[in-house]
Amino acid sequence: MNAVNESAISVRNVSKVYRLYNKPVDRLVEALSLFGKHRHHDFHALTDVSFSVEKGQTVGILGKNGAGKSTLLKILTGVLTPSSGEVTVVGRVASLLELGAGFNPDYTGVENIYFQGSLMGYSHAEMQTRIAAILEFADIGDFVNQPVRMYSSGMFARLAFSVAINVEPDVLIVDEALSVGDAGFQLKCMLKMKHMQERGTTILFVSHDTQSVIRFCQAVIVMQNGQIIDYSTDVLTATKNYEKKVRNSSAVAAPAVEEQHLDMSYDKELGDISEVRFGSGAAKINAVDFYSADGTQTNHFEPTEDVNMHCYVQSATALKEVVMGYSLRDAKGVDVAGDNTLLAGCKFDLDAGAYKISFSFPLNVAPGEYFLFIGMASLDGERVELDQRWPMRKISVSGGRQIVGVAYCPSTVNVVKVA
């Protein structure tokens, strides 16, 4: 464990116990009891939690609902007091916990900006220097002059996040706040948080989206039943273990499928890269085949060629609100293309059985080798990763001419003498 003076956050043996009563009157009866008879039972939201976070580190926190994540963050931000233990947070803290928490519903957006700033210790004059950037990032138009009780959840998220990141905190704590709002705003927030990472901000990031945690965080805390069961800088391995153990939803034996669509491995095709695979296994991506426009099965294409990608899925049980998505990454690990069924407007559920899910797209990328990262998740309530295969296959793009960048957009050049 890091020494306190090297850490932005230090948590030592923290527990939080709530007294729960079956009926409201039991609280009064217990208080007036002459014999000290208990009418409550204890609920341990946190039990002996200890960890530290280095300055400038981004740490993801994973766990099912009720694992204790939100309770922990509320203690770190001072909203709750621990029943026992010690917490040290160094520097100015900005947080996004419950949506709109700390906002006065009768204040306008602008008034709430100043109000939030005062809660963080900023003067009115200091907030005046930041308000233009806050309003520009929030981008909610004239609603900034309206009472926030009129705001949609998306507007709440925009304004709250904009205030939190534009006050330049030393520590930023985010609890699933980015799940609200449109995809464009979520991307905008992630890019801003990347900038804060580079600036040295310490970030605690709670999300049910394990892919975001893998891509964004340098360490991960896994919580279960109010305790930390894993704290690791090997984010990928910890996340895989979380999906297998904490989700506790191992797959039921699936019925047989056609022989050519059994669970396939493409390790020989990947070369020196080994596939990483994780998820509950309730539904699996057994195989992926690529076809050219003329129906030829291949993984060799030319720039701009149309690709038909057939994904063979086996579901062991009924699943709702399933999303499948893919990305093509170059040898440097940069996403150059991708899509998912949600963005494509294709919503679907699965019953137990075999499915073929097809994507068709133009391959507008420069010549080179690209790796297919593909996965499925269920968004029915809490997000559950079903099967993630990173990477699963490789495709080669050759032909055309050399260009600058990764998008294949060759120019037609015309030179005309005008004088």
Tens-place pLDDT, residues 314-373 = 999 999 999 999 999 988 788 999 999 999 999 999 999 999 999 999 999 998 889 999
Tens-place pLDDT, residues 295-331 = 999 999 999 999 999 999 999 999 999 999 999 998 8
Tens-place pLDDT, residues 207-241 = 877 777 887 899 999 999 999 999 999 988 888 78
How far is 370 from 382, CA to CA, in rounded Å? 32
Residue 101 pLDDT class (50, 70, 90 cuts): low
Closest of 94, 69, 271 to residue 176, by C-alpha = 69
Q: Does position 175 have pLDDT exceeding 90, yes or no?
A: no
Residue type, 32: L
Which residues have C-beta within 8 Å of that of residue 414, sequence separation ≥ 6? none
pLDDT of residue 210: 75
From residue 237, alpha-carbon distances to 210, 220, 221, 232, 253 in Å are 12, 10, 12, 9, 25
Ramachandran angles phi, psi of 101, nearest 5°: -60, 135
Q: 184 or 336: whose pLDDT is higher?
A: 336
- Tokens for 99? 């949506």
Domains and their CATH numbers in the chain: 259-397 (2.70.50.60)
Q: Does position 31 have pLDDT exceeding 80, yes or no?
A: no
Q: 371 or 120: whose pLDDT is higher?
A: 371
From residue 270, alpha-carbon distances to 247, 291, 331, 373, 399 in Å are 29, 18, 11, 12, 21
Rounded mean pLDDT of the chain?
A: 86
Q: Which residue has the tokens 């994780």?
A: 278
Residue 177 pLDDT class (50, 70, 90 cuts): low
Tens-place pLDDT, residues 38-89 = 777 788 999 999 999 999 999 999 988 889 998 999 999 888 999 999 999 9
Q: Which residue has the tokens 């699936």?
A: 254
How far is 183 from 328, CA to CA, in rounded Å? 19
Residue 262 pLDDT class (50, 70, 90 cuts): confident
Mean per-residue pLDDT, 103-114: 91
Q: Does position 257 have pLDDT exceeding 60, yes or no?
A: no
How far is 272 from 290, CA to CA, in rounded Å? 21
Strand extents, DSSP E, 154-250: 171-175, 202-206, 219-224, 227-232
Give me the numbers of helices (H) and strands (E) for the chain, helices first please. 10, 19
Strand extents, DSSP E, 182-224: 202-206, 219-224
Residue 256 pLDDT class (50, 70, 90 cuts): very low
CA atoms within 13 A on the CB side of 227: 5
How far is 76 from 375, CA to CA, in rounded Å? 34
Q: What share of the chain in percent tops pLDDT 90?
A: 50
How far is 167 from 169, CA to CA, in rounded Å? 6
pTM value > 0.85: no
SS (H, E, C) 252-270: CCCCCCCHHHCCCCCHHHH
Q: Does position 276 have pLDDT exceeding 60, yes or no?
A: yes
Residue 96 pLDDT class (50, 70, 90 cuts): confident
